[in-house]
């Protein structure tokens, strides 16, 4: 007999013991290739992270999907996974060892020890997650996880890269991109998109002298009366340029003007003359600078006008001597974005390109400083104009020798010195400050810079159309996610997949020091054949081990050394559909049975992250998407609607929430509180309010144990003993089955779980049980007693099966207690249309509302 008090954790202990005794989880997670498959791919969380309630929600959603499909007869692939590489691990190890940056790693620790420490951390924390999975009855907790740090996983990565290289997708190049000076590595654009903060930067208006006039004002005070007289006669025409990045001025190559806008030459009170856009004369007014307009002309007339650099550093002097350097170029429309309209998905219309000039009339002076080595738009227009792409900034974010007197300064610290020098030369019209949104490193949160670097890229343009086509074929839940992915695919540049770090999949590229030939290796077996020396039998695929391997060049016989880069973690997780299986080196039959992934379910920020890398890598290798259905989860915030943060102390940790609520209530609350794709303000108090429904349900179970009959079953034909309330409750449960099934298929877990709670509370417990209480009491001997007991069994059995994906412990405890078997080994119920009486349901609803 069950306890009269509902005790969630006691129920969990009893059920866990029952499962261990009966081997229930093992029966469920064993994959049966003879049945219909459901490949549920786990998006790997960072193994060194501590799970919070946002992770609980995502884990619950995935487990609900899996339990639902398994009860429908599918053999589900439940395997969990963990991301074990990259900056998340490296940053944690640096903190642990009390070091900071690549220099400390190399000089104080050594790469070999550092990688060993990364290995220890990468394989020491998955038990925290696996224990949590088991606590909340997520079936994945009973399986061996895949780890992106395993040799078999990395070999799959090598095969993927070799395949892409042979297809012309993997290329090496020098291009500008986001760079983290702290981590000393490149980042892809989408890695910076969601990490911004408001920062204060310089806002300066600089005067570039137009060539052919007097010399630039000297930076020192005049030493003679004649020199003072020369300075007094100093009147010059300048191009007025606004910038918030003074540190990029050593890399200035051109100034851009808008060809169809009107420009003016304005004379100031000191006799100097400024060229700027007519629409931006307001900038002078805002600076309280008096002027008079001498002439107006089209921006097109400025094309080719030569000017002097504002900095006399070596790089600027070299550019000034070139034919194309330091001239005015005309801005041209460059694609700012490809946009999908709100109706594009429904109407299957194409995206439209949104173009714009890099010179706008809303800010600045209407003249833009162009540094192709330090900006995406600058680089695009620079390539169209055949401009040089200087980038005098090193890996640490410090200016190099080309920046002359500013060399060795960190770029943001160099801002002040550059401004002071420009001021000393009389070329600063105005200097102020501006607060604006600025990109940060997604892991260490340091401000990023934009600089040139050598990387390996996956080319996008020749697979973009296939990616867009596959995006339309994916079932996105909710549908609007397809538009978001379409917009990203339309504007995404070639993907920089290499990183200049230590812990990750080593880039399998070896280069010949003699003839520059390149060899891309696809497996350890292939590496063994190409290696100049025999490889150890148990060699690890890591940076240090692979850097020691030398190959003999097949073309010239020279020695080949490995490119020292590693792969981005987004590549690591993007190959999970096949790398988690060890394909193609092993499990080919299993891969062919499982492929493609049936469903993925992660948070909405993964459109720019994992969802994108999954799509890109699979199209590049298999010419199709690796997943067929993609579900987006909304953010989980604190109860005040603020982002959870350790620094704010408002993180609700998964273990704390589990201890406070128990697994069933925690899962139910995650599903029922808001729509899966909406933002949830997580509240323990609101969750506890929902917990009262489970108390009421437990009381119903206790009642059935006391007054029910486990053997009572419905007669095959309609029994004369069935009363109207019996027919009504059986109609209601079958209507519920149909509704919940449709809601589950549509990822409307909130609607399904709320419907279940409403039914168990109102229809079943508070209405039906109340009506039939006397009919099933021990002293009642009427002929309709058995009918009521049979109806109770019928309804409870189906209700428990519907509840099982959401509240697995109480559903199991009640089902095994009433019917002697595991609810998780039963089938998902199907609605019996013959038992549905819509009119009867309407009458009963009206009656209950009247009462």
Query: Which residue ranges form the domains of the chain, and what is each CATH number?
Result: 8-99+125-163+569-658 (3.40.50.620), 201-215+235-388+401-436 (3.90.740.10), 666-850 (1.10.730.10)
Q: Three-class SS of residue 465?
A: helix
> Distance between CA 43 and CA 82 in Å, rounded?
8
- 542 catalytic residue (yes or no): no
Pick the catalytic residue from 643, 688, 770, 830: 643
Q: Given this model, what pLDDT does residue 333 score?
A: 67
- 174 catalytic residue (yes or no): no
> Distance between CA 114 and CA 97 in Å, rounded?
9
User: Which CA distances in Å does 158 have to 152, 162, 498, 561?
Assistant: 10, 6, 13, 16
Backbone conformation region of residue 400, classed left if phi is above 0, alpha if psi is from -120 to 50, else beta:
beta
Q: Are 808 and 664 in contact (CB under 8 A)?
A: yes
Q: Given this model, what pLDDT does residue 204 score?
A: 97
Q: Given this model, what pLDDT does residue 576 score?
A: 98
- 44 catalytic residue (yes or no): yes
- The DSSP output letter for 41 is P
Pick the catalytic residue from 179, 476, 510, 610: 610
Pick the catalytic residue from 646, 711, 716, 834: 646
- 653 catalytic residue (yes or no): no
The DSSP code sequence of 368-432 is EEE-TTS-HHHHHHHHHHT------B-TTSBB-GGGGGGTTSBHHHHHHHHHHHHHHTT-EEEEE
Pick the catalytic residue from 570, 677, 698, 828: 570
Host H or E run for residue 667: helix 663-672
What is the SS3 assignment for 778-799? CCCCCCCHHHHHHHHHHHHHHH
Q: Given this model, what pLDDT does residue 49 score?
A: 86
- The DSSP output letter for 728 is H
Q: Are 736 and 759 in contact (CB under 8 A)?
A: yes
Q: Are 633 and 57 in contact (CB under 8 A)?
A: yes
Q: Given this model, what pLDDT does residue 136 score?
A: 98
Q: Given this model, what pLDDT does residue 472 score?
A: 97
Residue 576, beta-bridge partner list: none
Q: Given this model, what pLDDT does residue 702 score?
A: 93
Q: Given this model, what pLDDT does residue 189 score?
A: 63
Pick the catalytic residue from 83, 415, 494, 726: 83
Pick the catalytic residue from 316, 482, 500, 606: 606
Q: What is the mean pLDDT of each run of 10 residues along the chain (851 residues)?
A: 84 98 97 96 92 97 98 97 92 92 92 94 89 97 96 98 97 91 81 73 96 50 44 67 96 96 95 96 95 95 95 95 94 56 36 60 94 91 92 95 96 96 96 88 84 95 96 97 94 92 97 95 96 91 96 93 96 98 96 98 93 98 98 95 90 96 98 97 96 95 87 65 92 98 98 98 94 91 89 96 98 96 98 95 82 55
Q: Given this model, what pLDDT does residue 846 score?
A: 83
Q: Given this model, what pLDDT does residue 69 score?
A: 98
Q: Are 448 and 179 in contact (CB under 8 A)?
A: yes
Q: Given this model, what pLDDT does residue 199 score?
A: 85
Going across the sheet that includes 597-603, the strands are 475-477, 627-633, 597-603
Pick the catalytic residue from 8, 25, 44, 309: 44
> Distance between CA 824 and CA 805 in Å, rounded?
8
Q: Which residues fall within 8 angstroms of residue 257, CB to CB, at 6 or more apart? A: 263, 299, 302, 303, 328, 329, 330, 331, 359, 366, 367
> Distance between CA 580 and CA 307 in Å, rounded?
58
φ and ψ of 20, to 5 deg: -65, -40
- 228 catalytic residue (yes or no): no
Q: Provide the whole-model pTM.
A: 0.87
- 610 catalytic residue (yes or no): yes
- 643 catalytic residue (yes or no): yes
Q: Given this model, what pLDDT does residue 339 score?
A: 40
């Amino acid at each position: 007999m069950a306890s009269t008090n509902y005790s969630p954790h006691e129920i969990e202990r009893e059920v866990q013991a029952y499962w261990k005794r009966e081997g229930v989880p093992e029966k469920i997670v064993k994959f049966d290739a003879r049945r219909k498959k459901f490949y549920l791919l786990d998006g790997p969380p960072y193994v060194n992270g501590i799970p919070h309630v946002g992770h609980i929600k995502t884990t619950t959603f995935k487990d609900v999907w899996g339990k639902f499909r398994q009860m429908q007869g599918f053999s589900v692939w439940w395997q969990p996974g963990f991301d074990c590489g990259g900056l998340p691990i490296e940053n944690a190890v640096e903190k642990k060892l009390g070091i900071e940056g690549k220099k400390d790693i190399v000089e104080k620790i050594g790469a070999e020890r550092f990688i060993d420490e990364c290995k220890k951390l990468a394989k020491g924390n998955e038990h925290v997650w696996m224990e949590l999975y088991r606590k909340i009855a997520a079936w994945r907790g009973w399986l061996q996880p895949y780890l992106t740090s395993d040799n078999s996983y990395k070999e799959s990565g090598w095969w993927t890269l070799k395949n892409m290289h042979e297809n012309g997708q993997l290329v090496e190049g020098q291009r500008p991109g986001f760079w983290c000076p702290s981590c000393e590595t490149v980042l892809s654009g989408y890695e910076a998109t969601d990490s911004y903060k408001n920062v204060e930067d310089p806002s300066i208006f600089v005067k570039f002298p137009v060539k052919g006039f007097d010399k630039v004002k000297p930076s020192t005070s005049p030493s003679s009366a004649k020199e003072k007289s020369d300075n007094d006669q100093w009147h010059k025409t300048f191009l007025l340029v606004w910038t918030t990045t003074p540190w990029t001025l050593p890399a200035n190559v051109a100034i851009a003007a808008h060809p169809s806008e009107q420009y003016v030459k304005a004379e100031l009170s000191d006799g100097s003359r400024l060229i700027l856009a007519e629409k931006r004369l307001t900038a002078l007014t805002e600076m309280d600078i008096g002027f008079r307009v001498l002439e107006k002309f089209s921006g097109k007339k400025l094309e080719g006008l030569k000017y002097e650099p504002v900095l006399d550093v070596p790089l600027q002097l070299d550019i000034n001597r070139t034919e194309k350097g330091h001239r005015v170029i005309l801005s041209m429309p460059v694609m700012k974005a490809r946009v999908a309209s709100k109706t594009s998905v429904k109407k299957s219309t194409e995206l439209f390109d949104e173009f714009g000039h890099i010179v706008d009339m809303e800010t600045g002076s209407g003249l833009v400083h162009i540094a192709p080595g330090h900006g995406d738009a600058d680089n695009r227009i620079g390539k169209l104009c055949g401009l040089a792409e200087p980038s005098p900034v090193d890996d640490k974010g410090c200016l190099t020798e080309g920046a002359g007197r500013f060399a060795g300064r960190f770029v943001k610290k160099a801002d002040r010195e550059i401004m002071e020098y420009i001021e000393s030369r009389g070329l600063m019209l105005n200097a102020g400050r501006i607060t604006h949104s600025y990109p940060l490193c997604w892991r260490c949160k340091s401000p990023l810079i934009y600089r040139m670097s050598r990387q390996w890229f996956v080319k996008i343009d020749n697979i973009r159309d296939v990616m867009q086509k596959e995006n339309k074929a994916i079932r996105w839940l909710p549908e609007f996610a397809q538009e978001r992915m379409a917009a990203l695919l339309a504007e995404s540049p070639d993907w920089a997949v290499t990183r200049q770090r230590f812990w990750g999949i080593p880039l399998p590229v070896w280069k010949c020091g003699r003839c520059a030939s390149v060899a891309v290796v696809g497996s350890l077996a292939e590496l063994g054949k190409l290696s100049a020396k025999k490889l150890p039998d148990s060699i690890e695929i890591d940076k240090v081990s692979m850097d020691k391997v030398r190959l003999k060049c097949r073309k010239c016989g020279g020695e080949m050394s490995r490119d020292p880069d590693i792969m981005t973690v987004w590549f690591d997780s993007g190959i999970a559909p096949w790398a988690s299986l060890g394909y193609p080196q092993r499990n080919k039959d299993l891969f062919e049975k499982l492929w493609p992934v049936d469903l993925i379910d992660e948070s909405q920020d993964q459109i720019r992250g994992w969802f994108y890398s999954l799509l890109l890598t699979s199209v590049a290798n298999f010419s199709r998407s690796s997943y067929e259905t993609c579900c987006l989860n909304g953010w989980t915030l604190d109860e005040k609607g603020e982002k959870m943060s350790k620094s704010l102390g408002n993180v609700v940790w998964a273990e704390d929430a589990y201890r406070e609520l128990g697994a069933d209530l925690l899962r139910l609350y995650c599903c029922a509180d808001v729509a899966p794709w909406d933002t949830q303000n997580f509240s323990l108090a609101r969750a506890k309010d929902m917990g009262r429904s489970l108390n009421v349900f437990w009381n119903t179970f206790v009642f059935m144990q006391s007054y029910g009959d486990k053997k009572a079953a419905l007669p095959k034909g309609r029994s004369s003993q069935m009363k109207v309330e019996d027919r009504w409750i059986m109609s209601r449960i079958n209507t519920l089955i149909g509704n919940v099934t449709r809601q589950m298929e549509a990822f409307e877990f909130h609607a399904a779980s709320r419907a279940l709670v409403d039914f168990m509370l109102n229809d079943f417990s508070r209405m039906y049980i109340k009506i039939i209480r006397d009919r099933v009491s021990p002293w009642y001997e009427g002929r309709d007693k058995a009918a009521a007991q049979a109806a109770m069994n019928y309804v409870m059995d189906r209700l428990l099966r519907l509840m099982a994906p959401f509240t697995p412990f109480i559903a199991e405890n009640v089902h095994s207690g009433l019917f002697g078997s595991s609810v998780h080994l039963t089938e998902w119920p199907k609605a019996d249309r013959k038992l549905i009486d819509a009119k009867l349901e309407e009458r009963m609803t009206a009656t209950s509302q009247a009462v």
